[in-house]
Structure 1
Amino acid sequence: MRPSDDLDSDAVRRWIDVCVRDLRALRAEIDGINVYPVADSDTGSNLLHTITAAREALEGTAVPGAGEALAVAAEAAVHAAKGNSGIILSQVLRGMASSAAGVDVLDGAALATALRSADSAATRAVARPVAGTMLSVLHAVSTALPDGDGDTDAAGVATLAAKTAAEALANTPNQLAALAVAGVVDAGGRGLVAVLDALVETLTGQRTSVPVQVTSHTHADETPAPRTWEVMYLLTVPDPTPGELSGLRKALSALGDSVTVAEAGEREYAIHVHCADIGAALEAGLDHGRPHHVRVEPLLTPGPAEPSVAAADRAVVAVVHGQALADLIGGEGTPVLVVDADGEPSTEDLLTLVTGTAAAHVTVLAGGVRLTAAAERVTGHPMLEDRDVVVVPCASPVQVLAALAVHDPERRAGADVVAMAEAAAATRRGEVVVAAEDAITWVGRATAGDAVGFIDGEVVLIEPGDVERRIERAATGVLDRMLAVGGELVTVLVGEHAPDGITDVLAEHLRAERPDVELVCYPGGQTDAVLLMGVE
């Protein structure tokens, strides 16, 4: 192969040719490690199908520059793309083509800019990017590339991109539980590494590849059952607006997961979703434009788990408000979804959280009444038919922490759920908030700015006066009332707007009044309550 320091139109053609050759050779290997988002063993086939369409479009087409060659390849790939991985690959080409428009030859700086554009285009197309996937590998590449003119030629940029991608791919099992459980790297990411290795070979003439550890995953012991469908179509939108596309993503996310709405041309979009209702997915498109080139394929997912669930087939996940609390829970190895204050998680967010564990039995701990209700609504979703999903009722994040404290993966699944539910129910909950407006309560009138104390959702005291002192009085007052009926452990989650030193005040108060009680305090990061307290 004739090497080239930079990427011209002939080099683009050779690159696509090498991609087809290598993805054909790797198809079985990539299909064999395909476990996320659905273990349907088709990622390698989808990538090959997509890139083959790009090659066929370039054959016999006269293109004077690299930018035009990339545009031809991208348009064909977008229209032929199959599966999540195929759509993402098509957006990689589309992003590069957009950056290189009108450019005859891409030098190192231009290629780096094109790959960063590819990252933006692919990420923008996916409704909810997930760490540990093809997108993570692509973003690692984008971040590592030099920014600016520099002296690195295109071959050097491609070599750095391929090396970075291989390193990011090796890290994907540490980012996504489904991969760790199966003992594999991400299949789409493996395909992207092959694509970048092909670019290196095109520009250097050397067929070298950074070694990638890939462990085969077999589905031989699984019982296939077509529970859901992969629905793909092109959608022509007469007058697209950002709000309209956001509404389409939301509608598709309510039906299933792996939602992609990718630009496919002027007023045209490539739609992809895994869902149980084919008609509803098409109707969502009809509400916004004209669907065409519709393709539907069954997704073969494992059958129901046996009644006796091994520890590796079980998982506990959490849904909370407050980044600090999410970091605390996630630091202990529990997958956690953080939701904006006063917000609710989307259906796709919850589906991704549950399915990302790759576990047959999933226990959900949601840190609030509304979060618990949202989690309960999704348990009956058709996408979760092959999993046993149980929501432990929690009205406060302190009850989530109590449940996690007694979680034992060696116990039987049912017994473990009961233990966590009992721990959560036995934890009395208190909170201190600052009144946002005047209100009448059971214990008197609260004026905006007063500190209001709650126990198990009921107002028990109101403290007016100095800002810092009123919060201290409310906190110690709530604590005394909760401990009046007993307790051995107090857990406090400190809100984002809590006064400095409040935990010291509580510690000193307990040492003086209840030295037998243990106190633990954590940053919660919540904005709706100054303090959240739990007593066990």
Structure 2
Amino acid sequence: MHFQTKKFLTAEDLVWMFKRGLENLKESEEYVNELNVFPVPDGDTGTNLVLTMQAVVDDIDSLDNLDMRTVAAAISQASLMGARGNSGVILSQIFRGICEVIQDKEAIDSQILGQALDRARDISYKAVMKPVEGTMLTVIKDVAGAASIYSNDSVDLVELLVQLVDEAERSVQETINLLPVLKEAGVVDAGGVGLLAILRGFLDVVRGEKELVRREKVGVLSRVSPTAEDVEELYLLLPDVS
């Protein structure tokens, strides 16, 4: 199948990417909730991520001025103020890192996107007092690592996003082997699956696809409760507002 090529992302592209990311995430919300066993098995990770993304989309949808600085500021501010739960706070920090890099750019190419993902990884890890591997932190780290390999001036954004989504899928599948509570439950990380859903939505917009496509779910839906020790592993410096 042939997809259109794209060398640059505009601020308007970003708005559509977040809208599509939210649509994709809503499609996976119930499934992500069912996967939620860490850090607390309260079955709300999907809902928290949707509410966080919805806050962003509501804000950027109301903007009159679609320049990069305005859109980036709105994404960063709305995701932080609208963040719900641990997963929402981490997602807001991922977006904060991206926006810090892109805010002064007229458009985003592959190289700038790679730099933005590097910053997203750094900011999100610093937002967590005790980063735990096998979570959405691992997924953004692996995606940023892939971006550093594949992003350069000559790489098309569609090609790059395909590579990044592939890496996110691989990383999500690997979370079950990195976190004992996930292994015991027989599931992959809920936050990682949510982040993957968002990235797939971003890719859809970049390659010009308009219709929402239902996709196979990742992981196994068996559930057990984590131990108290597992729950205590993750603490955020920012308050949990779930």
2:220 corresponding residue in structure 1: 215
SS at match of 1:149: coil
- Deviation track 1:66-86 (CA, whole Å, cap 9, x = no partner) reads 343122112101011011110
1:259 aligned to which of 232, 235, 240: 235
Equivalent position of 1:271 in the other structure: 239
Higher relative contact order (CA 8 A, sep 6+): 2
Q: More helix by proportion, 1 or 2?
A: 2
The amino acid that maps onto 1:216 is: L
Whichever structure has more strand as a proportion of its residues is 1
Partner letter of residue 176 of structure 2? P
Write the distance in 1 (CA, Å) between the matches of 2:108 and 2:153. Answer: 14
Q: 1:43 to 1:3 in 2, by over 3 A?
A: farther
SS at match of 2:234: strand
One-letter amino acid of the counterpart of residue 102, structure 2: A
Residue 257 of structure 1, CA deviation: 5.2
C-alpha separation between the residues in 1 aligned to 2:61 and 2:115?
A: 26
Which residue of 1 is the match for residue 198 of structure 2? 195
2:114–2:147: 8 Å Cα contact kept in structure 1?
A: yes
- Which secondary structure state, in structure 1, belongs to the residue aligned with residue 55 of structure 2? helix
Runs of 4+ in 1 over 6 A off after TM superposition: 207-210
User: Aligned pairs, how many?
Assistant: 231
Which amino acid is the alignment partner of residue 147 of structure 2? L
Cα deviation code 1:91-113 (max 9, x no counterpart): 11110000112112101111111
What is the distance in 1 between the residues matched to 2:205 and 2:68? 14
Deviation at 1:25, TM superposition (A): 1.3
Deviates more, 1:71-80 or 1:49-58: 71-80
Do the aligned partners of 1:20 and 1:52 also contact (CA within 8 Å) in 2?
Answer: yes
Please state whether the residue corresponding to 1:138 is helix, strand or coil.
helix
Deviations 1:339-389 (A, max 9, x none): xxxxxxxxxxxxxxxxxxxxxxxxxxxxxxxxxxxxxxxxxxxxxxxxxxx
Alignment of 1:445-464 (within 5 A): none
> Does residue 1:154 correspond to 2:157, yes or no?
yes
**SS of equivalent to 1:122:** helix
Answer yes or no: is the 8 Å Cα contact 1:95–1:117 preserved in 2.
yes
* Distance in 2 of aligned mates of 1:132 and 1:171: 7
| Counterpart AA for 2:43 | S
State whether residues 16 and 55 of structure 1, in contact with CA within 8 Å, keep that contact through their aligned partners in structure 2: yes
CA distance in 2, matches of 1:181, 1:205: 40
Write the distance in 2 (CA, Å) between the matches of 1:28 and 1:112: 31
Distance in structure 1 (CA, Å) of the matches to 2:170 and 2:216: 10
Residues 68, 97 of structure 1: 8 Å contact kept: no
Partner of 2:13: 11
Distance in 2 between residues matched to 1:31 and 1:211, nearest whole Å: 16
The alignment partner of 1:131 has SS state of coil
Cα distance, 1:259 vs structure 2 = 1.9
> Which amino acid letter does the alignment assign opposite residue 260 of structure 1?
L
Give the TM-score taking structure 2 as reference length.
0.87
**Equivalence for 2:73:** 71
In the alignment, what sits opposite 1:478? none
Taking structure 1 as reference, are residues 212 and 5 closer, same or farther at Cα in structure 2, changes over 3 Å only? farther
State the match for 1:130 in structure 2.
132
What SS class does the counterpart of residue 94 from structure 2 fall into? helix
TM-score (norm 1): 0.41
Gaps (5+ residues) in structure 2?
none
Quickly say closer, same or farther: Cα 1:177–1:144, change in 2 above 3 A: same
Instruction: Work out whether residues 108 and 156 of structure 1, in 8 Å CA contact, stay in contact via their aligned partners in 2.
Output: no
The alpha carbon displacement at 1:153 in A equals 2.3
> Could you tell me whether the CA contact under 8 Å between 2:24 and 2:200 is conserved in 1?
no
Of all paired residues, the percent bearing the same amino acid is 27
Specify every segment of 5 or more residues in structure 1 that has no aligned partner in the other structure, as ranges: 223-227, 229-255, 262-269, 273-294, 298-536
Would the aligned equivalents of 1:71 and 1:97 in 2 still touch at CA under 8 Å? yes
Hey, what's the Cα distance between the residues in 2 that align with 1:114 and 1:162? 16
Which of these two proteins has the greater Rg computed from alpha carbons? 1
Alpha-carbon distance, 1:195 to partner: 1.1
Q: Distance in 1 between matches of 2:133 and 2:233?
A: 15
Give me the whole-angstrom Cα distance separating, in 1, the residues matched to 2:113 and 2:70.
Answer: 14
